[in-house]
Structure formats: structure tokens, C-alpha cells
Amino acid sequence: MRRFFVGQKWVGRYGIFGTFLGEVIEISDEGQYGVVVITDECGNEMDEYTGNASDFQSSGEWQLVDHD
């Protein structure tokens, strides 16, 4: 299981609704929990996820952005 860390980036692709980006802005319990700000492709804040890193990742809707 991965943990959240501040600055971590995620991408969610939702067909006709488009692509959304998530960025972790806050963590607790050594990264087990966190706050992810979700924006659209234009950078408009659309939503916020607050919760368990494992639940967020296991949803299958979000993929960790690779850092090259």
C-alpha cells in the first residue's frame, strides 16, 4: 500500500466528464490519511477528498502520476 505525501499527484479519467487532477495538500498518521484537492484540466477546484489513502487508491478511479 502506498501512503499519501504532500505534493503527490493523481489523475482520474472519466470519459465524457473529462480528466481530473488530484494533489495531496495535507497528511496525517504518517501518510495513511490525507486531503486531496481535485481540479479540472483548467485548474478549477472541483472537489476535495479527505480520508484514507488505501480507500482512495483502491477505488481504481485514480492513478498515481509517474515522476520521470
Q: What is the pLDDT of residues 7-64, one digit of tens each?
A: 999 999 888 889 999 999 999 999 999 999 999 999 999 999 999 998 998 887 899 9
Question: Residue 53, class by beta-carbon neighbours within 10 Å (0-12 exposed, 13-18 middle, 19+ buried)?
Answer: buried
Q: Return the pLDDT at 27.
A: 97
pLDDT at 68 > cutoff 70? no
Using DSSP's 3-state secondary structure scheme, residue 64 falls into strand
Burial pattern 15-29, b for ≥16 Cβ within 10 A else e, equals: eeeeebbbebeebee
pLDDT at 1 > cutoff 60? no
DSSP β-ladder status, 63-64 and 33-39: unpaired
pTM comes to 0.88
pLDDT at 2 > cutoff 90? no
Q: Return the pLDDT at 67.
A: 62
